[in-house]
Chains A and B, each alone.
Chain A
Amino acid sequence: MSEQIRTFAELEEKQSACTKCMDEKFSGKDGKRHVVLCGGTGCLSSHSDKIREKFSEVVKEKGLEDKVTVNQVGCFGFCSQGPFVKIYPEDTLYRMVKIEDVEEIVESDLINGTVVERLLYVDPQTKEKITKQDDIEFYKKQMRIALHACGQIDPENIDEALGAGAFVGLAKALKMDRKAVIQEVLDSGLRGRGGAGFPTGRKWSFVPDTDEPKYLVCNGDEGDPGAFMDRSILEGNPFSVIEGMMIGGYAIGAENGYFYVRAEYPIAVKRLQIAIKAMEECGLLGDDILGSGFNFRVHIRLGAGAFVCGEETALLNSIEGKRGMPRPRPPFPAIKGLWGHPTCVNNVETLATVPYIMREGAAKFASIGTEKSKGTKVFALGGKINNVGLVEVPMGTTLRELIYDIGGGIPNGKEFKAIQTGGPSGGCLTAKNLDTQIDYDNLIAAGSMMGSGGAIVMDEDNCMVDVAKFYMEFICDESCGKCSPCRIGTKRMLEILTKITEGKGTMQDLEDLKELAVNVKTNSLCGLGQTAPNPILSTMNSFMDEYIAHIQDKKCPAHVCKNLMSYVIDKDKCFGCKMCQKGCPANAIHVIEPEYIGEGKKLPAMYIDANACVKCGACIATCKFGAISKQ
């Protein structure tokens, strides 16, 4: 039987022991070196687990077992540079490590104390090699509250979590009156991180003070394409989310908590299971937690591939074993939720933030951020940006800071065009919004929304009509089919967008599209349908010229829409090497007739037969001379 933590005193004792342990690890006071590897999904896909095994192997081989530990931790956030290896106490960060690099790191760094320079991160602007994580621009402006301890602790080890402050907030909450806990969260100004931004404390306060069963449900059905905040938090520090759930459960009087997690996140689920088991074994979950009289149990339910289940009433239906179709509101879940009982549904990031508020106090949390949006927000930065990854920044950070300082700007010297926040429910923000401070209200005012935190950057090569069509395809696929505006309206909008991208659109289509978009927004039953037209409305708002170009000029300015673009060979640049012809799957490339030989060239130039071309782009990739372009 594992060590029991049954009273506040036992918890404090254990916490201080574990904290000491962690301090020694980071500071090197224990006289050891500690190798940690990122164990997030991104790095695991680049075989960080095999690299870890290799480290253990080599360490053993070299007889360093007493001096070196090897562990995995949660996501570092800087996914495009993974897999990461970090060495304490020096805090040396190696990136893009391969199995072949392990021996060198052990030999050079662990044994000889020489940093392996070639594996260090290179700042793209200054070209300087950077040894420590905190010196990298990507991390400089970040502030980790929801991601607390992610990338520091072994997410499968409760002792490391305890050493990083886990359950301090819970202990504090359990010593308080339930109402005082709600008040504390109200005072913090915390708003729901799932998208809509409803104040969390108010949501909790809606649950009636009755004797019937109540539930706290954690919404981990993160479905926005391009968003992986919740996954990383669950993978990096599941204990903090469980702690937040327990605090919420205590505040609303629930004795059971349900995690609803996407089935696409097996690692997150596994780590949650391990964390729950560890907590049950030491008495932190179950009856009479810490002697406070509070009983709480945690259950996991898996999604099964339906985006709409991120909508809280659809999620409840799914837990109840039904089709994930949203329910009309009222009644709100706080009154009539899971199995007809009062239920509070909170997002993963929201719950992960709660322990901080209890631990550090509402005032400290409220001191971060803007007037109406407090604290920090995690964003999944992706798309056409140098530093793809997960970032947590204080509310009020500007888009410019996010994209250029943290994100490192747009790759390949391309022009920034737009950033899509809020996924399929949000909208595009453009260069004119770059100095907008990120918070709930500012993003809405600018025509987008916070959403769950996906932030996809687009450059000049992205067609905004195509982007709108992409989101509409997604929504159309994911519409549950219950209410007619969403079921049929999204299909019709997609049809109009398809028409436009195929060059068959008319100006009347634009009118219809707008009218339909506005009506689907107001008429739909749930949030999914009500926000589905946002990508259309916002791109129409900012990029009307692109829509019109597709319709009137029959041109796709970004050369994306296949029907409205063509590949051409510049005959003066063509060396006549015929490499493109070999690679053409449609046999569309031929020698120009009559023959033409460009100045300084020896062979006749080629041309692309537009009628035969399938626009696969294979030729452009094979041409070494840059003679082929899209028009």
Chain B
Amino acid sequence: MELININIEGQDYQVEKGLTILEAAKKCGYNIPSLCTYNHGECSLASCRVCLVEASENNGPKKLVASCVYPVSDGMKVTIGSPKATQARRTSVELLLSNHNRNCQECEKNGKCELLYVAQVTGAREGMYEGAKTPTTVDRLTPSIMRDTSKCVLCGRCIARCGKAHGLSVLGFERRGFNTIVGPAENRSFQNSPCILCGQCTTVCPTGALMEVSEIDKVDAAFAEGKHVVVQVAPAVRAALGEEFDMKIGTPVTGKMIAALRRLGFEKCYDVNFGADLTIMEEGTELLHRLTEGGTLPMITSCSPGWINYAEYYYADLLDHLSTCKSPHQMQGAVIKSYWAKQKGYDPKDVFVVSVMPCTAKKFEKDRPEMANKNGKDVDAVLTTRELARMIKRSGINFSRLPDEDWDQDIMGEYTGAAVIFGVTGGVMEAALRTVYFKLTGKEYGKIAFNEVRGNDAGIREASLDIDGTTVNVAIASGMRSAKVLLDEIRAGTSKYQFIEIMGCPGGCINGGGQPYVKPCFLPNEDDDILDTYKAKRAQALYSEDERQVVRQSHNNKQIQELYEKFLGEPNSHLAHELLHTSYNPDRERFD
């Protein structure tokens, strides 16, 4: 690592060569306001001009440069606080504000809005440069993601993220000059574009231009109607919810989260982990069946609704490869409205199931016609982690002072470590293999180590597993850019795998589109490289919970065993198929 000498605000520093001024300054203890740039050039258009500083090279004249892209050089002198630089940054922000829908009070991004943050730190003046605004488009047609161009600052982060995560260009810049907007082709709704609704774009958007469509009102209405409102929470939520309450990233908050849910009035609080264990039973059995009876291989997991959307739109010819299992929360929802309701003596129509998910695509998934039966929808409302935090905050609950409480244990309270790690890429695979191994060998398998043979860039990991002389080749991909590689192999007939796990979001559910925003400007106590490490930190929170579980294999979950004995019969039974399995529709109307 080559070090060079630079000078910032009259102080000498040694920094790594190759850094941008912004990065170098951060390492030296200076936070230069910035807006359009995102994490080491994931987005680096240098277009917002909010990070301008004065710099001189080779003792030349000072000039204003965009610190987010301008590299440091030996002997460079940087001034951040000069009148010229501060005025320049302020003007850039004032101009952005002049073309911004400033209904900040009502904006759900309030508190996490990076534009508001830079407005504050640059000292932007009220009402400068008022004038006409770019014509606005508001898209609220999908149940998952809304787009409001009146809030957009054209930073391009969403476009970059969609491309980086999925290799897709669902979003793009359109038109030119003052009329430029970001949107799907022809400024259509997400409803009519090949968007998989994963919500990754919402996690990087600095403003309220891209957000989830909130379903808090639906939940409120269910309470008001006096329904039996049951909540179930996905594993990844507990690994991130604490962030919304200023806890360090990676702090597991399962106990406090449950306590909060009780205080919000939910009749029962269940962990989707139960559903995850159920999924493993069904999916593991399906895999065994396909392996031994000659079904379509490789089989691909079906827990991630973003991935399902992608498969239906882009790889409709491969839908036979998908496991027919519903995702865990849908399975569990179906069980709540049948098995649980029956035990409670409730009419399923009076039961309202709320899922708290790290995901925006789940909002769409729950509305699929396949996800309902005579008992109504499996799941009635899906809240993101962020929405749950909002509900907790508005109820005046001081989250950090809550006691740790436990899930309702009545009939769906037990879960295994296998289920917990569903929230991490590779988790479903690992959990399933633990059970498949047992079913095939009658013995428990310890830990499966996955070798990252293809490196991190492709995001694909693969392994070979010897189960009593049978070699099972497996692969894991998260994000559609990686998945595409595996899918193209299948299409070409060259795939060597029997089992593939695909997750829609890069890194799996812990990095889902509904998770708390990781915005370094609002996280003064996190490390400088938090955008590189937050996924690992959240994953660690889940892995540590897996390790703490006594039972770590789904098939050893006593309540699952009971569910099969008393209700479903056996995995893949007729009733199990009716309640827990689904089908796919390549001609889904929303894409027309």
Contact = CB atoms under 8 A, between A and B. Distances in A.
Query: Touch between A and B in complex, CB under 8 Å?
Result: yes
Interface of A: 306, 323, 325, 328, 330, 476-485, 487-492, 495, 512, 515-516, 519, 522-525
Contacts of A489: 91, 95, 129
A479 B176 contact: yes
B47 A492 contact: no
Given A484-B47, A487-B180, A516-B129, A525 B66 contact: yes
A91 B33 CA distance: 68
Closest 7 CB pairs of A and B: A481-B180, A328-B46, A519-B91, A488-B95, A479-B177, A328-B69, A495-B131
B175 A481 contact: yes
Contacts of B52: 522-523
Nearest to A322: B173
A472 to B, nearest CB: 12
A515 B83 CA distance: 14
B92 A485 contact: yes
A95 to B, nearest CB: 41
Nearest to A475: B177
A478 B177 contact: yes
A62 B71 CA distance: 74
A330 B178 contact: no
A523 B129 contact: no
Nearest to B91: A519
B176 A306 contact: yes
A163 B44 CA distance: 52
A484 B176 CA distance: 12
A488 B180 contact: no
A484 B178 CA distance: 9
Contacts, number: 98
A481 B66 CA distance: 17
Contact of A488 (B99, B175, B176): B99
B48 A476 contact: no
Q: Which of A476, A492, A516 has the most CB of B within 10 A?
A: A492
Q: What bracket does the count of chain B residues touching chain A fall in?
A: 20 to 34
B11 interface: no
B178 A482 contact: no
A480 B64 CA distance: 21
A582 to B, nearest CB: 40
B127 to A, nearest CB: 12
A480 B177 contact: yes
Contacts of A481: 154, 173, 175-180
Nearest to A479: B177
Given A323-B173, A328-B66, A525 B178 contact: no
Contacts of A478: 177
12 contacts: A480-B177, A482-B47, A483-B48, A484-B92, A488-B96, A491-B178, A492-B95, A492-B129, A519-B87, A519-B92, A522-B52, A523-B91
Nearest to A515: B91
Nearest to A331: B71
Contacts of B98: 488, 492
Interface in B275-316: none
Given A480-B177, A484-B153, 10 more contacts: A477-B177, A478-B177, A480-B176, A481-B179, A483-B46, A487-B180, A491-B178, A519-B92, A522-B84, A523-B92
Nearest to A482: B47
Contacts of A477: 177
A524 B84 CA distance: 14
B337 interface: no
A487 B64 contact: no
A491 B129 CA distance: 10
Contacts of A323: 173
A482 B45 contact: yes
B70 interface: yes
B179 A485 contact: no
Given A476-B178, A483-B47, A484-B48, A491 B70 contact: no
Contacts of B32: none
A323 B177 CA distance: 12
Contact of A525 (B49, B154, B173): B49
A491 B178 CA distance: 7
A487 B131 contact: no
B96 A484 contact: yes
Contact of B178 (A306, A479, A515, A522): A479
Contacts of A325: 45, 173
B88 interface: yes
Nearest to A495: B131
A490 B98 CA distance: 12
Contacts of B129: 488-489, 492, 512, 516
B78 to A, nearest CB: 15
A551 to B, nearest CB: 18
Contacts of B48: 483-484
Contact of A484 (B49, B64, B71, B87): B49
